[in-house]
């Protein structure tokens, strides 16, 4: 077994042992969003001609769950290990920055996809939805989860206390996910907010993901693919260089 | 080749009050197979030195080599050679003892070592806790797991940073028995401890650190020889006369005075009598490492 595999497996087991909290709870939350928003807004929002609001909402909720849980996994694991002091076990091991990166990010992808699949399975029971282009769905889910896993890694390295982590989550991740078109099409927004949304990489993740279900989207899935990939390269490079320099973990 | 070679290791921390020198040109070598003691009061720099050795911190200047390999240049190689027991009692609350040991093996690229893990569990008295969650263990048991975690990859160099701080007699016995066995099997051991009788009993050579400098470095037997050869020990219920208080080590009622010859002992007892005091349980014993330690730390201040 290679070092990174052991760390990857440890990270998987860590969230799986508390799966009620890490997988079941976010699935329930998304279901509540669907039932409440889907019911209240069903007659008021019409995005695409052939798509009901509930059906429109489902991919957004699935992707939001993927993103938030991928972020939560790497970030909470790192901050907990830092505060408990048990990060030392990994620091003492002969693992290079790539091993850390692959293990933390891949396990976050697994959690993100696990929760996302859970949300999809449950919500499909309440809506009529089909997948036009499943490959796009998979590609955007993977890219999004990887990017958020890497962002979680950065947040986990940067934070020294739980409240700094909470600040990162509440002031960066939450606004970016909510302002990305989970609950609405950005065409329904005033021009200023539309422009702002176009600067948000999360928008392209959700838009591209949604394309896989409906074959229709706000921008071309190829443009989304390009921009999301570029954002992923930037975020991963930052995470890798922080790991390589031992930022806030080696003095 | 030395197992560990410290060469002019210096570490300066930036603090709000200005730079603080934690290590100031520390140089010494530990030979392969040696049981080596690193002693010093709190804040002397022992843990900082071990952190640099382990790659948890970087030296401001100087270098450390493990089996000839530079810890800063090729950290992944040196970490494989080292088994480090950290001083803080840390654990991962998600896992059982056995899981923790398997993961730690995995990080070092070691698998199929179930037999060695069982040996560690038996040797450290952890067999019946193998499937217990880390959270359920007592402090002493957690300490044993820390030792086991450091040894999963059979490192040729074992570093123990105050492994017996705050642990009961039974664990100390188990632990020393086990480490001694590994040392006899060829593993090099570097130990820091506050229990000087342990260092005296176990370590072939000793370095003493004070405020980041090496103030003594010799074979344990030579250090003992060089110190005042005898100690006059007695119990006293009243305060000591001033001239004795200056040189005495007092622990509650117990008074210990360094003595080089019979005249000195006579003089000590004379002052006690003159002050109208009565010394009880008077005895003369050989100086131990604690006496040496106090003398060295006193001289260098």
Within a domain: A251? no
Check A93 against B57: CB less than 8 A apart. no
Instruction: Report if residue A181 sits inside a domain.
Output: yes
DSSP classification of residue A186: G
Picking from B15, B77, B103, B135 by the largest number of A CB atoms within 10 A of its own CB, the best residue to mutate is B103
Evaluate if residue A185 carries a pLDDT over 70.
Answer: yes
Residue-wise pLDDT for B122-172, tens only, equals 999 999 999 999 999 998 899 999 999 999 999 999 999 998 877 788 888
Contacts of A9 in chain B (CB under 8 A): 103, 106
CB contact under 8 A, B107 and A2: no
- Tell me the backbone φ, ψ of residue A90, rounded to 5 degrees: -80, -35
Among chain B, residues having any CB pair with chain A shorter than 8 Å are 51, 54-58, 75-77, 79-80, 82, 84, 86, 88, 90-95, 99-100, 102-111, 149-150
Query: What confidence tens digit (pLDDT) does each residue in B87-136 have?
Result: 999 999 999 999 999 999 999 999 999 999 999 999 999 999 999 999 99
Nearest chain B residue to A7 by CA distance is B107
Average pLDDT, chain B: 91
CA A129 – CA B168 distance, rounded (Å): 65
Instruction: Tell me which of B191 and A196 has the higher pLDDT.
Output: B191
Q: What is the residue range of A59's domain?
A: 3-245
pLDDT in tens, A205-222: 999 999 999 998 889 999
- Nearest chain A residue to B145 by CA distance is A89
**Integer Cα distance of B285 and B30 in angstroms:** 31
Chain centroid to CA B261: 32
Quickly state the pLDDT bin for B226 (edges 50, 70, 90).
confident
Under the banding of pLDDT at 50, 70 and 90, the label for residue B228 is: low
Residue B292 reports pLDDT greater than 70 = yes
- What's the maximum distance between 2 C-alpha atoms anywhere in chain A? 58
Locate B136 and state its tokens.
């359920």
- Cα B164 to Cα B92: distance, rounded to the nearest angstrom: 20
Instruction: Please report, for residues A47, B29, B79, B152, B253, the alpha-carbon distance to residue B156 in angstroms, rounded to integers and kept in the order given.
Output: 67, 16, 11, 11, 45
Closest CA to B272 of B246, B236, B248, B247: B236
Query: What is the mean pLDDT of the segment spanning B64-73?
Result: 96
Q: What is the mean pLDDT of chain A?
A: 92
Check CB contact under 8 Å for B99 and A13.
Answer: yes
Q: Counting Cβ atoms within 10 Å, is residue B247 exposed (0-12), middle (13-18) or buried (19+)? A: middle
pTM for the structure as a whole = 0.91
The answer on pLDDT for A186 being more than 90 is: no
For an interface test with B, which of A5, A85, A86, A99 has the most B Cβ atoms less than 10 Å from its Cβ?
A86
A30 within domain boundaries: yes
For tokens 């696990």, the residue is: A114
Residue B301 above 70 pLDDT?
Answer: no
Q: Are B50 and B221 in contact (CB under 8 A)?
A: no
Using CA atoms, how far apart are residues A153 and A240, in angstroms rounded to an integer? 9
For residue A99, being part of any structural domain is answered with: yes
What number is the ipTM of this complex? 0.91
A141 located within any domain: yes
Give the pLDDT score at B214. Answer: 94
Q: Please give the tally of structural domains in chain A.
A: 1
Please give the pLDDT value at position B300.
Answer: 64
H or E element at residue A31: helix A25-41
Shortest CA gap A15–chain B (Å): 9
Facing B76 at nearest CB: one of A89, A90, A96: A96
The answer to whether A94 contacts B86, with C-beta atoms less than 8 Å apart, is no
Q: What is the largest CA-CA distance in chain B?
A: 73
Which pLDDT tens digit goes with each residue over A95-131?
999 999 999 999 999 999 999 999 999 988 888 888 8
What are the Cα distances from residue A168, in Å, to A11, A71, B158?
Answer: 21, 11, 40
The reply to whether A250 falls in a domain is no
Q: Residue A194, exposed/middle/buried by CB under 10 A (0-12, 13-18, 19+)?
A: middle
Residue A208, in any domain of the structure: yes
Give the lowest-confidence range in A190-204, B101-115, B228-242.
B228-242
CB contact under 8 A, A89 and B149: yes
Q: Average of pLDDT values for B2-7?
A: 96
Contact status, residue B4 vs residue B24, Cβ threshold 8 Å? no
Query: What are φ and ψ of residue B87, in 5° steps?
Result: -75, -40
Judge whether A5 is closer than 8 Å to chain B, CB to CB. yes
Q: Which residue has the higher pLDDT, A251 or B37?
A: B37
Please answer whether residues B80 and B155 qualify as being in contact, where contact means their C-beta atoms are separated by less than 8 angstroms: yes
Query: Are B79 and A81 inside 8 Å of each other by CB?
Result: no
Residue A120 lies in a domain: yes
């Amino acid at each position: 077994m290679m070092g990174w595999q052991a760390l990857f497996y440890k990270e998987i087991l860590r969230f799986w042992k508390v799966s009620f909290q890490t997988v079941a709870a976010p699935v329930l939350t998304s279901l509540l969003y669907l039932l409440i928003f889907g019911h209240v807004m069903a007659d008021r929002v019409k995005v695409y001609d052939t798509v009901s609001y509930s059906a429109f909402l489902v991919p957004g909720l699935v992707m939001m769950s993927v993103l938030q849980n991928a972020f939560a996994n790497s970030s909470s694991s790192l901050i907990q290990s830092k505060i408990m002091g048990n990060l030392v076990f990994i620091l003492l091991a002969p693992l290079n920055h790539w091993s850390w990166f692959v293990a933390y990010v891949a396990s976050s992808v697994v959690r993100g996809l696990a929760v996302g699949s859970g949300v999809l399975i449950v919500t499909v029971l309440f809506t009529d939805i089909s997948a036009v282009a499943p490959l796009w769905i998979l590609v955007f889910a993977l890219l999004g989860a990887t990017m958020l896993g890497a962002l979680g890694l950065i947040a986990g390295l940067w934070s020294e206390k739980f409240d700094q982590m909470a600040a990162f989550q509440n002031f960066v991740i939450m606004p970016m996910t909510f302002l990305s078109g989970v609950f609405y099409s950005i065409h329904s927004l005033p021009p200023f907010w539309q422009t702002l949304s176009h600067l948000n990489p999360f928008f392209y993740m959700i838009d591209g993901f949604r394309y896989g279900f409906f074959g229709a989207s706000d921008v071309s899935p190829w443009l989304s693919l390009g921009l999301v990939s570029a954002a992923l390269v930037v975020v991963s490079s930052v995470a890798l260089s922080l790991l390589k320099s031992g930022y806030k973990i080696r003095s | 080749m030395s197992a560990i070679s410290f060469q002019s290791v210096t570490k300066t921390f930036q603090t709000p009050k200005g730079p603080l020198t934690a290590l100031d040109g520390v140089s010494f070598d530990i030979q392969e197979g040696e049981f080596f003691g690193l002693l010093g009061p709190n804040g002397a720099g022992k843990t900082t030195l071990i952190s640099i050795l382990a790659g948890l911190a970087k030296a401001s200047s100087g270098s450390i080599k493990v089996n000839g390999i530079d810890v800063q240049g090729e950290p992944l190689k040196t970490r494989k050679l080292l088994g480090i027991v950290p001083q803080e009692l840390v654990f991962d609350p998600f896992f059982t003892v056995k899981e923790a040991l398997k993961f730690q093996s995995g990080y070092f690229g070691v698998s199929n070592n179930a037999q060695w893990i069982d040996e560690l569990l038996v040797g450290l008295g952890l067999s019946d806790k193998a499937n217990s969650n880390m959270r359920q263990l007592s402090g002493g048991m957690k300490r044993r797991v820390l030792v086991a975690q450091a040894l999963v990859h059979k490192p040729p160099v074992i570093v123990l940073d105050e492994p017996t701080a705050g642990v009961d007699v039974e664990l100390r016995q188990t632990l020393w028995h086990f480490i001694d066995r590994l040392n006899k099997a060829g593993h090099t051991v570097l130990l820091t401890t506050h229990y000087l009788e342990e260092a005296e009993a176990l370590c072939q050579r000793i370095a003493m650190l004070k405020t980041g400098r090496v103030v003594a470095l010799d074979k344990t037997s030579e250090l003992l020889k060089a110190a005042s050869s005898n100690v006059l020990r007695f119990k006293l219920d009243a305060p000591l006369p001033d001239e004795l208080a200056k040189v005495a080590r007092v622990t509650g009622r117990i008074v210990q005075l360094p003595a080089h010859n019979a005249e000195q002992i006579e003089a000590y007892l004379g002052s006690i009598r003159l002050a109208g005091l009565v010394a009880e349980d008077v005895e003369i014993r050989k100086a131990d490492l604690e006496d040496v330690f106090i003398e060295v730390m006193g001289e260098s201040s």
